[in-house]
Amino acid sequence: MKNAKILIKRGRVIDPLTGIDQIADVLIIDNKIQSVDTNIDLSAGPDVMEITAEGLVVCPGFVDLHAHLREPGFEYKETIATGTKAAVKGGFTSVCAMPNTDPAIDTPSMIEFVKMKGKSDASCRVYPIGAVTKGRKGKSIVDFLEMYSAGAVAFSDDGDPVYDSEIMRLALEYAGPLNVPIMNHCQDLTISPNGVMAEGEVSELLGLKGIPDSVEEVMVARDIALCKATGSKVHISHVSSAGSVELIRLAKSQGINITSEVCPHHLTLTDEAVLTDGGYFAASPGNAYDTNAKMYPPLRGESDVDALIHGVQTGVIDCIATDHAPHDVVSKHTTFDCASFGISVFETAVGSLLGLVRAQTLSLPKMIEALTIAPCRVLGDAFEEYGTLKEGTVADVILIDPDIDWVVDTKEFVSKGKNTPLEGRRLKGRVVLSLVDGQIMFDELEK
C-alpha cells in the first residue's frame, strides 16, 4: 500500500498522547497519520482503501521494549522473522530485541547484525538492546558510545543481572550522557540461588525451591540508590512483587529518574498457574505442575498481582512489556527444576490484558498508554514518532476487536514458541489488523 490513502472509519479511536478517546476516523496518506476527525469525507478512488472499524478499537501500534527474538544462536527457538510475525499478530509494531543471544549483542557489529536482519526479515521494526557487560558476564563494561552510535537503544544484561554494584555504577556513569536507560533484571544472586518458582504455599505443596520477594526487592533498592547517585536512567525490568512497586513509588515521589515495566502474565496470573493435572508439556501425564508456568521473575501471589495492576493504573509502573521468551518443546518437556524459564506472550497479550479491563481493575486507555506512548517515553528520542496517532507521525496503527471470543491453541501460534500456561483457555478480545509504516502486516478482519 505504498503511497496509498487509507481511511479507517468509525472506530473507537484511543490515543493517550493526544487525549483522544472517541468514535472517529483516521486518515493515512503516504504512510503518515494525516488526520483524526469525527467524519472524514474522502472521495473513493483506486488509491483509497477504506476500512470499516465499527465496534473496534483503533489505537497506535504497541511498542515492546523487552522481547527475546533469539537470533543469533538460538534460531531453533525463534528467529527475527518468526518472532516479528507473531508480534504484529499481537499488535506490536516495534520490538526491542534483548541481547541474551549467542554471541551476545555486546559489540557494534552485533548491533549491526540485528538491524540488518530486522530490515531483511522482520514484519515490524526491530531495535537492538546492547549488553551492559562483555559477554553478559558482569565483569567489564562494553563500549557504550560505539554501540549507541551503531544503533543500540538501551543496555541490559537481561536474565543475568548486573550484580556487581561498582560495575553497575560505572555503566550508569558511561551511559548517562547518551540519555538511554540501563535495564536491569533485578535478582540478588546470593538469595535462593536454586529457586524455581515463587516462595509460598504452592512451592511448599509441590516441594519446589522457592524464590522470595526479597530476591527482587534487594536489587531494586540498590538500583534506585545508584540511579539517585548518578542521575542516569535506570529501568527496572519485569517488576513482580508488591514490595518492588512500593520501592519504585517512593523513589518517584523523591524525583528519582527511575522507570519500570510489568508483563501481562504478572498482571493476570498467580503462582497457582503452576498447578495442573498434567498435559502435553508436563514432564509426564498426571504431573502436579505445568512447566510452561515457570518464568523469571516467577508468578507470585494475589496481593502482588493486585499491587502490580494498581501500579500500572496509577502510573507508578510506567509500561507493559511482554518479555516474550519462546522455547523449544524439549526445554519445557522436562522436570520443573530442569525446565527453562520463560513464556511465549506476543499472541496472547491483548486477550489477557482485556480481562483486566472487563474486570474494571485497569482502564482501556491506561492499558493502551502502557503499551504505546509510555515505553516510547522510557526509550527516548529514537521513539518520538511512535506510540501515537498525532498528525505527521508514522502510521503504526492497530485495530482490536474487544468482543471476539477465542480459545488459546498453540498449534495456531506463528511464533516457534508454544510455551504458555494459557493453552486451552478462553480469552475475549484480540488484534484483527496491524499496520506498520502504513502497510498492512497482519489482517484478520475478514475471518
The x, y and z cell numbers of residue 247, run together, are 520501592
CA 438 vs. chain centroid, Å, equals: 22
Q: Which amino acid is at 96?
A: C
Q: How far apart are CA 275 and CA 62, in angstroms?
A: 31
Comparing CA positions, the residue from 167, 187, 317, 188 lying closest to residue 230 is: 167
Q: How far apart are CA 302 and CA 74, in angstroms?
A: 34
The x, y and z cell numbers of residue 181, run together, are 536507560
**DSSP reduced 3-state for 204:** helix
- The residues, any chain, with a CB within 8 Å of residue 253's CB and separated by 6 or more, are none
Q: What are the DSSP calls for 82-118, one per residue?
A: HHHHHHHHTTEEEEEEPS-SSS-S-SHHHHHHHHHHH
Pairing of strands 57-60, 439-443: unpaired
Q: Is the backbone peptide bond immediately before 181 cis, with ω within 30 degrees of 0?
A: no
Q: Which amino acid is at 369?
A: E
Comparing CA positions, the residue from 445, 261, 269 lying closest to residue 352 is: 269
Query: Which residue, chain included where needed, has cell 486451552?
Result: 424
**DSSP reduced 3-state for 188:** coil
Environment class of 252 (CB within 10 Å of its CB; exposed 0-12, middle 13-18, buried 19+)? middle
Question: What counts of helices (H) and strands (E) characterise the chain?
Answer: 13, 17
Q: How far apart are CA 258 and CA 309, in angstroms?
A: 18
Q: Could you tell me if 350 and 91 are in contact, meaning their C-beta atoms sit under 8 angstroms apart? A: yes
What HEC string does 335-370 produce?
Answer: CCCCCCCCECCCCCHHHHHHHHHHCCCCCHHHHHHH
| Burial call 67-77: b when 16+ CB within 10 Å, e when fewer | bbbbbbebeeb
Query: Which residue, chain included where needed, has cell 472506530?
Result: 11
The x, y and z cell numbers of residue 256, run together, are 528519582
Active site residues: 323
Q: Could you tell me if 131 and 106 are in contact, meaning their C-beta atoms sit under 8 angstroms apart? A: yes
